[in-house]
């Protein structure tokens, strides 16, 4: 049984007894607050010298960005009339398994605000029925198609709305993919901040255009699964600390979050890990400083599930919503917030102003997405069971019974969106002798268990925590149930008359290959979330590393020894090493199908048989050896008390590192072949806004809502008369609130202050100083299909900084990309790509601002191509000329 499930069962048994003892008197006990509280925010584990989680207080209030003012005005009217209990109710989850969704807040029904339903995942509506299991984020990244990313986001949003989900827990833009073995890289869009940003932004727009609040996660530097969580009691073993410097934070990991916030995302989820020694859910620098002040985030910040490790500390540091509400150990009916937050406000420890801001942010976000309409459905499904009826609160000792699943079908025509994404992601890495496309008369001998659906049932493993059958997604909370699996074998049989399948990962004995037979070998590499260990991989790709699973290398080599033509199809969460077989003479074609979700079959044969030319491109590099990466991106092993994961490679991840060290990858970032050819001609560059080193000064913040600061009457959190309590459900109420009269002696963190900080120079609106998105250069290029079949081409622009740039900067960095529509043979299209101020800037840690290293003699170069390799066409910022035939900047 999955580790997580057994852990829950264990806890449930434990809590059966303890709840009876603890529950009745906890609420008004101020000492209990002290027990729940982390002793002091200043007590941090030692992190390596130079990495600082500096304090940043108080929390900047939301409501000053013009694009949110109408929603904040509505929220203000409501929150001004709420009781303390109603306010607290909205900030705190009702507890694990205490409602239909993976997370459920309390409600404020007097104002029409329901219990909000929070539901995974980044690729669809998790743990329910009649939905679409979309391709994973990494697959979207491989399409390099912004319109498709939007279409998938809109379809996810429509399904979420149809199921009554208020807050969808995606997209994931962290992890970024710093560690190729990292377990959850596949939930995001690729190992580059700009590619990751676009995936996130278009997904957010799609989801939110359907009126559902999107959640950008996990903030921040959540780059490996092992040791990601605090082990209670807190302090025994802390969550690993990601230690990174300010410039790396801004130029890599925070970049996609800034863009998501600029796009108006409603929610941010914190990460499990510490950042520079301070837990993400109570890291004041990250939440108050970076998210809410510098990036001007107007929505709500929620904790990742059970990532909250302190009540007052997290409130002061900027957290707005505790999820799923429980304290460090779930199902005990105890919380850091809920009744404890009521206590902390009544005794003056948490300023009422902070609670008001939390609630105003939550209510304003609800208005901002237009959820205050009758037509927004209540949840009509249960993430806890597939049964039609069952306990309303499965985590309770005794629960009333409810109708929990109404099996509402929300699929509409989304299967076609899913198929389009899966198809357009298909990345052909090698295609010697034009082996692809295949003919319907091709004689196909298919090997590998990955070619057909899991024989035990497509959803037989909890949250896909096994690698059996076609790999359509990784494992963990980032999944959805398959409504069906269109597997490759079935699709191949629809296209070719002569298909023989060998359902094995070991090459069968006694095979004779006839001339002209084509062997198709299906192989995979899987990873997922840390609560499951699958074939020795505890989330991260620990045991198989970057090798194929199930001895895939051997299967390919054996097939290559028998057959003159071998086509390898790889379903994978990320880069895999291909050196063992890629150069074998009979391995003619290699196809990465990434993680296609439910549409694995026809999307693949659409390309294999030439109905569509492939146009997917790698969203990461494929190195020749794992040792080609810096040692610092290896998985971290056990260390006593806290694992210190120091990002000493700084900006140099993936191609940035390989380029710096002149290490030629096997397949470059962006690599992907087509059945046709394209030329890129008539490139032009025109200047936009004037180049100044610092951006124009930001505007000061506008006003935010204000409320009475008088501590509310304790009666506002007394149990309502005749209230029927559900044991272990988390409430805002207290048994004897009138006894809470004194201010508790709480040790505030060093640097705690209530006077607002000066406006950060890099801020100014959602995402940061709006001038950062001023267009400095516009590049246009004519793409012509010079081959004989229709196809699509991606144009990527990589920026190279002036050679006199004093800052150590990667040689080239992706800054813009666009994809053509389908171009018929000989047809052309002109693509326009914009380079913004931020694209040319470095983050200056001294001035805390984005600075362009302006040079009067050395130009910026804008390299135009379709991967980091073979770049020969470039435009220059000073002469405003473009020329082809140049020496590529990187190997």
Which residues of the shown chain bind ligand NOJ in the complex (CB under 6 A)?
102, 120, 169, 217-218, 304-305, 477
From the CB of 409, what's the least distance to ligand NOJ, in Å?
23
Closest CA to 535 of 505, 578, 503, 575: 505
Nearer to ligand NOJ, 305 or 549 (CB): 305
Minimum distance, C-beta of residue 383 to ligand NOJ, in the bound complex (Å): 9
Cα 346-349-355 angle, rounded to 5 deg: 70
Contacts of 745 (CB under 8 A, 6+ apart): none
Which residue, 96 or 831, has its beta carbon nearer to ligand NOJ?
A: 96
Q: Shortest distance, CB of residue 8 to ligand NOJ, whole angstroms?
A: 13
Token output for 274:
């510490």
Tokens of 745: 């002696």
845 C-beta neighbours (distance < 10 Å), count:
12
643 - beta bridge partners?
none
Nearer to ligand NOJ, 69 or 385 (CB): 385
- CB burial of 543-572 (b: ≥16 within 10 Å; e: otherwise) equals ebbbbbbbbbbebbbbbbeebebbbbbbbb
Cα dihedral 193→194→200→203 (10° resolution)? -160
Which letter does DSSP use for residue 552 in this model? H
Supply the minimum distance, in Å, between the C-beta of residue 472 and ligand NOJ.
Answer: 19
What is the nearest approach in angstroms of ligand NOJ to the Cβ of residue 112?
26
Q: Is 293 a catalytic residue?
A: no
* Angle, CA 589 vertex, CA 583 and CA 594 arms, to 5°: 105
CB 542, min distance to ligand NOJ, A = 18
From 259, 304, 517, 606, active-site residue: 304
CB 279 within 8 A of CB 328: no
Q: How do strand 794-800 and strand 678-687 relate by DSSP bridges?
A: unpaired
- Give the residue with the Cβ less far from ligand NOJ, 120 or 538: 120
Residue among 365 and 586 whose Cβ is closer to ligand NOJ: 365
Distance separating alpha carbons of residues 452 and 360, to the nearest angstrom: 50
First to last CA, the chain: 48
Side by side, the strands of the sheet bearing 238-243 are: 278-279, 274-275, 238-243, 642-646
Instruction: Look at the alpha carbons of 97, 103, 104, 106 in this order and tell me if their dihedral is positive or negative.
Output: positive
- Alpha-carbon distance values, 145 to 45, 133, 150, 195 (Å): 43, 19, 9, 10
Q: How far is the CB of 672 from ligand NOJ (least distance, A)?
A: 29
The CB-of-128 to ligand NOJ minimum distance in angstroms stands at 13
- Closer to ligand NOJ by Cβ: residue 102 or 651: 102
Residue whose CB is less far from ligand NOJ, 102 or 113: 102
- Check: CB of residue 113 under 8 Å from CB of residue 363: yes
Least Å from the CB of residue 102 to ligand NOJ: 5
Q: Which lies closer to ligand NOJ via its Cβ, residue 221 or residue 812?
A: 221
Cis peptide, bond prior to residue 220, ω within 30 of zero: yes
Calculate ∠ Cα 571-577-582, nearest 5°: 90
Long-range contacts: 367-370, Cβ < 8 Å, 24+? 367/70, 367/71, 367/74, 367/75, 368/68, 368/71, 368/264, 368/266, 368/298, 368/299, 369/208, 369/211, 369/212, 369/213, 369/266, 370/211
Closest-CB residue for ligand NOJ? 477
| Closer Cβ to ligand NOJ, 350 or 595, answer by number | 595
Query: Cβ neighbours of residue 840 under 8 Å, at least 6 residues apart?
Result: 691, 776, 799, 801, 852, 860
Catalytic residues: 304
């Amino acid at each position: 049984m999955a580790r997580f499930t057994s852990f829950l069962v264990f806890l449930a048994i434990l809590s059966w007894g303890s709840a009876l003892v603890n529950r009745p008197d906890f609420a008004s006990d101020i000492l209990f607050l002290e027990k729940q509280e982390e002793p002091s925010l200043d007590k941090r584990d030692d992190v390596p010298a130079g990495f600082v989680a500096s304090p940043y207080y108080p929390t900047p209030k939301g409501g000053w960005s013009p694009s949110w003012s109408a929603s904040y005005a509505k929220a203000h009217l409501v929150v001004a009339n709420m009781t303390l209990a109603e306010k607290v109710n909205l900030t705190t989850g009702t507890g694990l398994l205490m409602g239909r969704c993976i997370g459920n807040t309390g409600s404020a029904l007097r104002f029409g605000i329901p219990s909000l339903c929070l539901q995974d995942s980044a690729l669809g509506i998790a743990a329910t029925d009649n939905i679409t299991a979309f391709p994973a984020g990494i697959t979207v990244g491989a399409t390099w198609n912004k319109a498709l990313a939007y279409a998938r986001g809109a379809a996810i949003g429509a399904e979420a709305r149809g199921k009554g989900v208020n807050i969808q827990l995606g997209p994931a833009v962290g992890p970024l993919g710093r560690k190729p073995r990292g377990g959850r890289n596949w939930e995001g869009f690729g190992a580059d901040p700009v590619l990751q940003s676009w995936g996130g932004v278009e997904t957010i727009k799609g989801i939110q255009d359907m009126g559902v609040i999107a959640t950008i996660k996990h903030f921040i530097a959540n780059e490996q699964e092992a040791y990601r969580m605090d082990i209670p009691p807190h302090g025994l073993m802390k969550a690993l600390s990601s230690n990174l410097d300010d410039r790396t934070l801004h130029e890599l990991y925070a970049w996609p979050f800034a863009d998501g916030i600029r796009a108006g995302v409603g929610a941010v989820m914190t990460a499990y890990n510490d950042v520079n020694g301070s837990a993400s859910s109570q890291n004041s620098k990250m939440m108050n400083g970076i998210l809410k002040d510098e990036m001007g985030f107007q929505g709500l910040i929620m904790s990742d599930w059970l990532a909250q490790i302190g009540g007052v500390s997290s409130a002061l540091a900027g957290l707005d919503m505790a999820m799923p509400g429980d304290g460090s150990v779930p199902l005990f009916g105890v919380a850091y917030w809920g009744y404890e937050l009521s206590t902390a406000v009544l005794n003056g420890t948490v300023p009422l102003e902070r609670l008001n801001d939390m609630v105003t942010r939550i209510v304003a976000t609800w208005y901002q997405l237009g959820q205050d309409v009758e037509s927004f459905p209540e949840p009509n499904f249960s993430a806890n069971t597939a049964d039609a009826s069952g306990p309303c609160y499965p985590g309770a000792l005794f629960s009333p019974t409810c109708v929990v699943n109404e099996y509402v079908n929300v699929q509409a025509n989304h299967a076609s969106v899913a198929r389009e994404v899966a198809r357009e992601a298909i990345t052909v890495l090698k295609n010697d002798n034009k082996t692809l496309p295949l003919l319907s008369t091709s004689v196909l001998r298919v090997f590998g268990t990955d070619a057909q659906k899991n024989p035990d049932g497509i959803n037989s493993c909890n949250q896909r925590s096994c690698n059996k059958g076609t790999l359509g997604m990784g494992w963990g909370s980032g999944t959805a149930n398959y409504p069906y699996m269109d597997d490759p074998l079935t699709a191949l049989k629809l296209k070719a008359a002569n298909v023989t399948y060998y359902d094995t990962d070991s090459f069968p004995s006694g095979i004779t290959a006839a001339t002209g037979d084509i062997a198709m070998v299906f192989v995979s590499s899987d990873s997922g979330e840390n609560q499951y260990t699958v074939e020795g991989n505890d989330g991260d790709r620990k045991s198989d590393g970057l090798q194929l699973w199930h001895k895939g290398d051997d299967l390919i080599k054996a097939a290559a020894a028998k057959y003159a033509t071998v086509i390898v199809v790889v379903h994978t969460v990320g880069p895999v090493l291909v050196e063992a077989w890629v150069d074998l003479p009979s391995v003619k074609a290699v196809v990465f199908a990434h993680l296609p979700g439910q549409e694995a079959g026809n999307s693949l044969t659409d390309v294999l048989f030439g109905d569509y030319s492939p146009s997917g491109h790698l969203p990461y590099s494929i190195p020749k050896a794992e040792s080609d990466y810096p040692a610092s991106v290896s998985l971290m092993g056990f260390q006593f008390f806290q694992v210190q994961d120091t990002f000493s490679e700084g900006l140099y991840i993936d191609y940035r590192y390989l380029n710096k060290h002149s290490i030629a990858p096997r397949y470059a970032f962006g690599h992907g072949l087509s059945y046709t050819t394209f030329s890129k001609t008539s490139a032009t560059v025109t200047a936009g806004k004037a180049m100044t080193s610092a951006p124009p000064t930001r505007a000061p913040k506008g006003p935010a809502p204000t409320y009475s600061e008088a501590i509310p009457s304790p009666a506002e959190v007394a149990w309502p008369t005749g209230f029927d309590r559900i044991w272990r459900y988390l409430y805002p109420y207290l048994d004897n609130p009138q006894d809470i009269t004194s201010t508790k002696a709480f040790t505030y963190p060093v640097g705690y202050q209530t006077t607002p900080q000066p406006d950060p120079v890099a801020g100014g609106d959602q995402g940061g100083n709006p001038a950062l998105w001023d267009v400095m250069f516009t590049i246009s290029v004519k793409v012509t299909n010079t081959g004989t079949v229709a196809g699509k081409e991606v144009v990527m622009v990589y920026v190279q900084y002036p050679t006199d740039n004093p800052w150590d900067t990667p040689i080239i960095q992706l800054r813009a990309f666009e994809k053509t529509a389908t171009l018929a043979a000989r047809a052309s299209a002109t693509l326009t790509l914009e380079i913004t101020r931020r694209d040319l800037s470095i983050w200056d840690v001294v001035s805390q601002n984005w600075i362009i290293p302006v040079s009067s003699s050395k130009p910026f170069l804008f390299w135009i191509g379709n991967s980091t390799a073979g770049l020969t066409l470039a435009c220059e910022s000073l002469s405003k000329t473009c020329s082809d035939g140049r020496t590529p900047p990187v190997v």
